Amino acid sequence: MTFSSNIARLQPSATLAVSSLAKRLRSEGRDIIDLSAGEPDFDTPSFISDQAIEGIRSGQTRYTPASGTPELRAAIAGHIGAVADRHIDPGDVVVTSGAKQAMFNAAFVLFGPGDDVLVATPYWTSYPQMVYLARAEPVFVRGAEENDFRLTPADLEAAATERTRGLILCSPGNPTGAVYSSEDLEAVARWAKGRGVWLIADEIYRRIYYGSDRPVAPSILELPEDALGPFVLVDGASKSFAMTGWRIGFLYSSPEVVKKVVALQGHTTSNAAAPSQAAALAAFGSRDRAEAAVAEMVAAFQRRRDLVTGLMSDLLPEFTYLSPGGAFYLFFRVDSVYREGCEGSTAFCSWLLEETGVALVPGVAFGDDRFVRLSFATDDATLKRGIERMATAVRGVLSAT
Ligand code: PMP
Ligand code: GLU
């Protein structure tokens, strides 16, 4: 069968594929420990869900403006403005069906044939695919491993050409957990501005931050005004408020970009689901309640991060890992155990799943085949069992050679 050249390079999402496989194996009766899923294991806080039920009962079941309800756009503007201590015009916010759509909209509206887009690598698996769908070319830029792969202006300068139109950056990072400090972020933003390159900043994990110096990870919105050139900020409700299934994201950019994004969305998906917008209004609009719920979840993620890094250091010292400053992933190197017949992160993850029932995501899906990704958004007992099983299996391989 022949398909359109629009999807010539399209690959299925590896992150979604692994969690679907884990769910299927479990439904077939296998004892599976799924550490692949990139979603909080908590239920959505009930004051948020209740608002959706209330919204449905009061008739919020119809189309809203494609850009989102004015109330939700205002609440989001207030939310991001408060953290950054900056006035945000609600008209410059577009509500999307998940942060995924916000990122896709930005890529599709801004980039096209002949354009190169720098993608900070290791990257979230969907970024290059979105750039391909826009018929532009992703250019993978990797910072130093000792610097947790964070990019510096020198890394960017070495990768840029006259075709470079954009830079996609994610902090706190998926899959690395690396967090850009305000200084790092400012240096990158100034570089992008100087080059006239669009900075697309994915801050979906911003609230899931473990530093003690500040409540949330640094944002591009906190930078001095003169540091920031053309940008699109991508964020959403999925991770911070445990709302992955509700499909609420947003972007914030200039009025010109917003106009094009709303036009695109008006012909593709229209508005994000109305009851989900009602729920998101509670999340973004009732600051004190939302903050309390988020703080509780972040404290649990932080405890699990400490548990997981402690177990890895004790039980699997041959696997070096990046120490996560935010998000809920541990990205660790397994290439020291690659052997003939089991080489590469996909083979490693297949072997591990077959041998132990532990599901991880191969690093190749994030642009680095030496690594694998473990999600610690699950309970302590499961994490402990998963790492212990992995350690036993790896010990077996090492002692056999
Ligand atoms: N950006 C990153 C870095 C992510 O990990 C995810 C995970 N889903 C998304 C965007 C998309 O979020 P959403 O579920 O809101 O579409
Ligand atoms: N972003 C999450 C992950 O990286 C969820 C799956 C997806 O949307 O890719 O696992």
Residue whose structure tokens are 């948020």: 48
Residue whose structure tokens are 């003169």: 226
Per-residue pLDDT tens over the stretch 249-276: 999 999 999 999 999 999 999 999 999 9
Ligand 1 center from residue 204 Cα (angstroms): 7
Query: Once rounded to an integer, what is the mean pLDDT over residues 74-101?
Result: 95
Check whether residue 262 and residue 160 sit in a common domain: yes
Express as a percent the part of the chain with pLDDT over 90: 91
Check whether residue 249 and residue 376 sit in a common domain: no
Check whether residue 92 and residue 31 sit in a common domain: no
**According to the model, what pLDDT value does residue 81 have?**
94
User: Average per-residue pLDDT in the chain?
Assistant: 96
Confidence class for position 14, pLDDT limits 50, 70, 90 = confident
Are the C-beta atoms of residues 127 and 103 closer than 8 Å to each other? yes
> What number does the ligand 1 atom closest to the CA of 236 have?
15
Distance CA 63, CA 86 (A): 31
Cβ(16) – ligand 2 distance below 6 Å: yes
Sequence-distant (≥ 6) Cβ neighbours of residue 399 within 8 angstroms: none
Check whether residue 352 and residue 214 sit in a common domain: no
- Three-state secondary structure of 336-364: HHCECCECCHHHHHHHHHHHHCEECEEHH
**According to the model, what pLDDT value does residue 57 have?**
98
Check whether residue 60 and residue 127 sit in a common domain: yes
Check whether residue 147 and residue 65 sit in a common domain: yes
Query: Quick check: helix, strand or coil at residue 300?
Result: helix
Out of 260, 286, 312, a domain closes at 286
Cβ(38) – ligand 2 distance below 6 Å: yes
Tell me the CATH number at 85.
3.40.640.10
Which residues lie across from 139 on neighbouring strands? 118
Are the C-beta atoms of residues 330 and 309 closer than 8 Å to each other? yes
Question: How far is the CA of 305 from the CAs of 311, 323, 349, 358, 387, in angstroms?
Answer: 10, 9, 21, 18, 13
- The boundaries of the domain holding residue 231 are 47-286
Amino acid in the structure at residue 11: Q
Per-residue pLDDT tens over the stretch 311-366: 999 999 999 999 999 999 999 999 999 988 889 999 999 999 999 999 999 999 99
Which residues lie across from 331 on neighbouring strands? 373
Distance CA 290, CA 242 (A): 11
Distance CA 45, CA 236 (A): 16
Cβ(244) – ligand 2 distance below 6 Å: no
Confidence class for position 48, pLDDT limits 50, 70, 90 = very high
What are the backbone angles phi and psi of residue 118, rounded to the nearest 5°? -75, 130
Cβ(174) – ligand 2 distance below 6 Å: yes
**According to the model, what pLDDT value does residue 204 have?**
98
**At residue 212, does pLDDT exceed 80?**
yes
Check whether residue 348 and residue 213 sit in a common domain: no
What are the backbone angles phi and psi of residue 12, rounded to the nearest 5°? -65, 155
Check whether residue 32 and residue 166 sit in a common domain: no
More confident residue, 136 or 12: 136
Are the C-beta atoms of residues 219 and 88 closer than 8 Å to each other? no
Out of 226, 258, 286, a domain closes at 286
Confidence class for position 400, pLDDT limits 50, 70, 90 = confident
Retrieve residue 210's tokens. Answer: 């473990």
Check whether residue 150 and residue 188 sit in a common domain: yes
**At residue 217, does pLDDT exceed 80?**
yes
Cis preceding-peptide flag for 40 (omega within 30 of 0):
no
Per-residue pLDDT tens over the stretch 366-398: 999 999 999 999 999 999 999 999 999 999 888
Question: How far is the CA of 397 from the CAs of 89, 248, 306, 370, 393, in angstroms?
Answer: 58, 44, 27, 17, 7
**At residue 401, does pLDDT exceed 80?**
no
Q: How many domains does the chain have?
A: 2
Out of 235, 259, 286, a domain closes at 286
**According to the model, what pLDDT value does residue 167 have?**
98
Tell me the CATH number at 294.
3.90.1150.10
Ligand 1 center from residue 224 Cα (angstroms): 27
**At residue 235, does pLDDT exceed 90?**
yes
Sequence-distant (≥ 6) Cβ neighbours of residue 285 within 8 angstroms: 71, 72, 75, 78, 79
Express as a percent the part of the chain with pLDDT over 70: 100
Which spans in 161-201 are helix H?
Answer: 182-195
**According to the model, what pLDDT value does residue 20 have?**
85
Distance CA 29, CA 67 (A): 44
**According to the model, what pLDDT value does residue 16 have?**
86
Check whether residue 62 and residue 161 sit in a common domain: yes
Ligand 2 center from residue 124 Cα (angstroms): 8
Per-residue pLDDT tens over the stretch 271-314: 999 999 999 999 999 988 999 999 999 999 999 999 999 999 99
**At residue 83, does pLDDT exceed 90?**
no
Per-residue pLDDT tens over the stretch 89-116: 999 999 999 999 999 999 999 999 999 9
Residues flanking ligand 1, CB < 6 Å: 38, 98-100, 103, 124, 170, 174, 202, 204, 236, 238, 244, 249
**At residue 67, does pLDDT exceed 80?**
yes
Q: Which of 16, 94, 169, 174 to mutate to test the pocket of ligand 1 (most atoms within 8 A of CB)?
A: 174
Query: Once rounded to an integer, what is the mean pLDDT over residues 222-242?
Result: 97
Strands (E), 115-211: 116-121, 137-142, 164-170, 198-202
Confidence class for position 12, pLDDT limits 50, 70, 90 = confident
Query: Quick check: helix, strand or coil at residue 205?
Result: coil
Check whether residue 238 and residue 369 sit in a common domain: no
Check whether residue 276 and residue 297 sit in a common domain: no
Ligand 2 center from residue 16 Cα (angstroms): 6
Ligand 2 center from residue 279 Cα (angstroms): 21
